Structure 1
Amino acid sequence: MERGRPVFSISPFTMLDFPDRTACILWFAGCNMRCGYCYNPEIVFGKGKLSWGDVQEFLLSRMGLLEGVVFSGGECTIHPQIIPFAREVKKMGFEVKIDTNGSRPDVLETLIQENLVDFVALDFKGMTGNYWKITRSDLFKSFEKSLEILLDSSIRFEVRTTVHPDLLDYQDLKEMENWLREKGFSGTYYLQHFRGDKKTIGELGESKMQGVKIESGVWRN
């Protein structure tokens, strides 16, 4: 087991973050992107506090009560501990969901090859022309590789985008939808409406766009 304290905190219970499963959330500290709408600045800029021993103690107390464990952040895949953590969580009988920006396709591929992940939520920040503006990173190609890995696998996954009109307009979203179709994606594409009711990394004003869901390429209010 890798040493260290990569986990910032644990949300003990959720019925929203892992489809069809009762779960907890492990919030991994740190991120390799700086999205202005991110509502977890304390996690992105903070330090981890919890080791595997702390996580294991919590999970042992929830045996028979929880079905899954969500690895989120921040960006959980930047930590070398994620793979050994996932191995131990699976040994305990829990299913694993990964929330990721797709920046570490090598890690994602290892998780899939070792049967350590059951569901993935992949963040689609924007197309290449907007990617730096939104994320302050040049990791689009890594995201694209992660999408391709998921498309070639049998893992259940969804794609999601956080929407703010200062960053993405409807034409941008249509381009993103078309790009996903061209890549062969036909699953569920969620557009998350930025609400602006929490402290974020950037100083974006409140969004006036309504949240919608695209399912199999169909926009739904």
Structure 2
Amino acid sequence: MRCLYCYNPDIVLGKGKIDFDSVLSFLKTRKGLLDGVVLSGGECTLHKKIIDFIKEIKTMGFAVKIDTNGSNPKILNSLIHDQLIDYVALDFKSLPHTFKHLTQSGLFSEFEESLSILIRSNIPFEVRTTFHSSLITKNDFVNMIKYLESKHFEGNYYVQHFMNNVPTLSKLDLSNKEIQFKNFSTPKIKVIFRD
């Protein structure tokens, strides 16, 4: 994906790489000091050796959380099936009618499959959305909550506001935070705004 609001343009465009051996060497020095490791991105499940990498991390005794956009449901399913991850944060970018514009990809059905896999699994997970007022309208946001309910999602739905004045993949207008002053929670979904 090439999300318009992505604040990791260097990583998405292929810069800022750290090799796995360096990370594993660092983690060996942190045994007993750290509880877990978060793999994010870009999209961590795209790496060809992600499963072997996570196995190495797990053998050191660390818990593993992944941050994913849900674009790789087969890898997500394997990680859950093989008990290689302990927690997942799934990014819900937008609804189908705005997904392609916001993400510059046609991967909504993959996201949908990943959401279904997580709902059916026993692994703890969260759904979260980065909210930019120019990209997601209030009506879209209400419909995103309805969409999650239609998929039988229950629990916390985290909304993180786009951070204005930071480098992003695309030039965007300032986003306002007015949406956070309304309660969008439903009986089954608690909407939590993160700063």
Candidates 65, 68, 76, aligned match of 1:97: 65
Counterparts in 2 of 1:67 and 1:210: CA distance versus 1, 3 Å:
farther
Classify the secondary structure of the residue corresponding to 1:70.
strand
Q: 1:167 Cα deviation (Å)?
A: 0.8
In the alignment, is residue 217 of structure 1 matched against residue 171 of structure 2?
no
Match of 2:35 in 1: 67
Q: 1:211 Cα deviation (Å)?
A: 6.4
What is the distance in 2 between the residues matched to 1:97 and 1:152?
18
> Does the 8 Å contact 1:188/1:214 carry over to 2?
no
Candidates 46, 56, 72, aligned match of 2:14: 46
Candidates 113, 118, 122, aligned match of 2:90: 122
What residue identity is the alignment partner of 2:141? L
What is the distance in 2 between the residues matched to 1:195 and 1:50?
25
Regions of 4+ moved over 2 Å: 46-52, 209-221
The count of residues paired between Structure 1 and Structure 2 equals 189
Alignment TM-score, normalising by the size of structure 1:
0.81
% identical equivalent positions = 49
> Does the 8 Å contact 2:158/2:191 carry over to 1?
no
Q: Which has the higher contact order (CA 8 A, sep 6+)?
A: 2
Q: Which has the higher mean CA deviation after the structures are superposed, 168-177 or 41-50?
A: 41-50
In the alignment, is residue 87 of structure 1 matched against residue 59 of structure 2?
no
Alignment TM-score, normalising by the size of structure 2:
0.92
> Does the 8 Å contact 1:123/1:161 carry over to 2?
yes
Counterparts in 2 of 1:54 and 1:220: CA distance versus 1, 3 Å:
closer
Matches within 5 A, 1:176-187: 176-187=144-155
What is the distance in 1 between the residues matched to 2:107 and 2:191?
27
Counterparts in 2 of 1:48 and 1:114: CA distance versus 1, 3 Å:
farther
Q: 1:51 Cα deviation (Å)?
A: 2.4
The Cα offsets for residues 108-149 of structure 1, whole Å up to 9 and x where unpaired, read as: 000001100000000001111010110010000000000000
Q: 1:52 Cα deviation (Å)?
A: 2.4
Q: 1:217 Cα deviation (Å)?
A: 2.2
Match of 2:104 in 1: 136
Q: CA RMSD in A?
A: 1.6
Q: 1:205 Cα deviation (Å)?
A: 1.4
What is the distance in 2 between the residues matched to 1:70 and 1:218?
24
**Runs (5+) with no aligned partner, structure 2:** none
Q: 1:162 Cα deviation (Å)?
A: 0.8
**Runs (5+) with no aligned partner, structure 1:** 1-32
Candidates 107, 111, 124, aligned match of 1:156: 124
Counterparts in 2 of 1:127 and 1:167: CA distance versus 1, 3 Å:
same
Counterparts in 2 of 1:66 and 1:210: CA distance versus 1, 3 Å:
farther
Q: 1:219 Cα deviation (Å)?
A: 4.0
Match of 2:133 in 1: 165
